[in-house]
Amino acid sequence: MDDDVLRGLAKDCVHCGFCLPACPTYQLWGEEMDSPRGRIHLLTQVLDGATLTEAGASHFDRCLGCMACMTACPSGVQYDQLIEAAREWTATGGSWQERVTRALIFALFPYPRRLRMAMAPLRVLQRTGLDRRLADILPSAAGTALRMAPRGGGRRARLPERVPARGRRRAVVGMLTGCVQSVFFPGVNLATARVLAAEGCDVIIPRDQGCCGALSLHSGRRAEAASFGASTVSVFSRAGVDAVVVNSAGCGSAMKAYSSAGFGVRDLSEFLVELGPVAERHPLPVVAAYHDACHLLHAQGIGSAPRSLLRAVPELSLVELADAGTCCGSAGVYNLLQPSAAAELGSRKADAVVASGASLVISANPGCTLQIAASLRSRGSGGRKVRTAHTAEVLDASLRGVRLLSDGGGPDGGTSAHETDACDTCAGRG
């Protein structure tokens, strides 16, 4: 982005400090330079010609990109634009370990096939328990990745290219399957397709869709993001859909940023609330807490839609987390690049979950699910089993009148909520 445009955006900041209490890194360290206001000041200095030192760059790197400051800012400062520009400055810097970690992340995560292949040896390590021992001795990023990896993840769940609406057709929607979502949480995509079909949508799931570019966009790799974004937009433009529905908060916020899309982009919860329910909900007796993914609440302004969907599930009691709007520390790949700050935020989130009394944490972002589950595992949940799930899985279980079996296809439960052979959606029977 042009320096003058950036300077103009930075000038919108009137230094009031209202954003400081909302900023997780300011909460952690109480340092002005690790607050939104401090980072905007630093960015202005660099635009005015100051050299960006390694210490300066670390303040940008320590930003989670959670956008809680944007929700808190009364002046409407577009911090997302500013931090994305700053990330472009720092994207290639850092120690050699950080550069290797970033290279590995971006060679793997946007490519589901490669990610799935990497999961195969990991499943063997998990079966033998070696993953936990290795996690303790490997360098921090690798150790964190082993601790975060979902048990039994990486199994393929092949969806048909079209899942027909049940009953009267009310919409034709495209479904973005996502990279991390499709590899680590295939059950979430299956649940999403079933919920949409049950609510009267033809669901189009193009096989040739790839990464939407969210991870790259939020990491300052603008050119890479633009290329991923362009091919995703082109795939869905050809699909002839009314809207593209996204079940991963980070992907949804990136997809909404692609102005060239000739179709609407909707988060799943947003779409379902707009569409209105027709399918019958069955009771799901559980005390559940909803965790706001930052890229849903702060980047897309969606907080009430998932809650209203969940409150409509009979016998589901929804409790609020004390810090529902504060980042859990996942933040894309932040937990791999800044493991110690991420672990502290994860531990605070786990404390809030345990204090809420919930036995189920619901979230709409795969990274948040992995982070919260790993944090609960390392903190312990006071003798009570606390499971994790995606909003789609909860709705799907309620619509089908079945128990919620898995941990969102995640850390403890694999993808066992789903019997592929018996599933009409997988078998293309709608």
Q: Which of 90, 393, 96 is nearest to 269 (CA)?
A: 393
User: Does the footprint of ligand SF4 cover residue 23 (CB under 6 A)?
Assistant: yes
Tell the smallest beta-carbon distance from residue 31 to ligand SF4 (Å): 11
Q: Judged by CB under 6 A, which of 16, 230, 287, 427 binds ligand SF4?
A: 16
109: left (phi over 0), alpha (psi -120 to 50) or beta: alpha
Tell the smallest beta-carbon distance from residue 336 to ligand SF4 (Å): 16
Contact 406, 415 (CB under 8 A): yes
Tell the smallest beta-carbon distance from residue 251 to ligand SF4 (Å): 18
- Ranges within 36-95 binding ligand SF4 (CB under 6 A): 36-37, 39, 63-69, 72-73, 75, 77, 79
User: Does the footprint of ligand SF4 cover residue 340 (CB under 6 A)?
Assistant: no
Residue 375 CA to residue 62 CA, distance in Å, equals 19
Q: Judged by CB under 6 A, which of 19, 163, 297, 397 binds ligand SF4?
A: 19
- Span near ligand SF4 by CB under 6 A; candidates 32-40, 214-222, 259-267, 372-380: 32-40
Q: What values do phi and psi take at 279, rounded to 5?
A: -80, 150
- Which residue, 68 or 165, has its beta carbon nearer to ligand SF4? 68
- Ranges within 303-322 binding ligand SF4 (CB under 6 A): none
Q: Judged by CB under 6 A, which of 14, 230, 319, 427 binds ligand SF4?
A: 14
Tell the smallest beta-carbon distance from residue 325 to ligand SF4 (Å): 10
How much of the chain is in helix, strand and coil states, percent to nearest 5? 50, 10, 40
Exposed / middle / buried, residue 302 (Cβ in 10 Å: 0-12, 13-18, 19+): buried
DSSP string, 309-341: HHHTSTTEEEE--TTTTS--S-TTTHHHHSHHH
As a residue count, the chain comes to 430
Tell the smallest beta-carbon distance from residue 290 to ligand SF4 (Å): 20
Q: Which pair of tokens denotes residue 103?
A: 């290279």
End-to-end CA distance of the chain: 45
Tell the smallest beta-carbon distance from residue 63 to ligand SF4 (Å): 3
Query: Angle between the 304-311 and 268-275 helix axes, to the nearest 10 degrees?
Result: 60
- Which residue, 73 or 188, has its beta carbon nearer to ligand SF4? 73
Q: Judged by CB under 6 A, which of 6, 10, 25, 239 binds ligand SF4?
A: 25
Q: Judged by CB under 6 A, which of 2, 4, 15, 137 binds ligand SF4?
A: 15
Tell me which residues touch ligand SF4 (CB under 6 A): 13-19, 22-25, 36-37, 39, 63-69, 72-73, 75, 77, 79
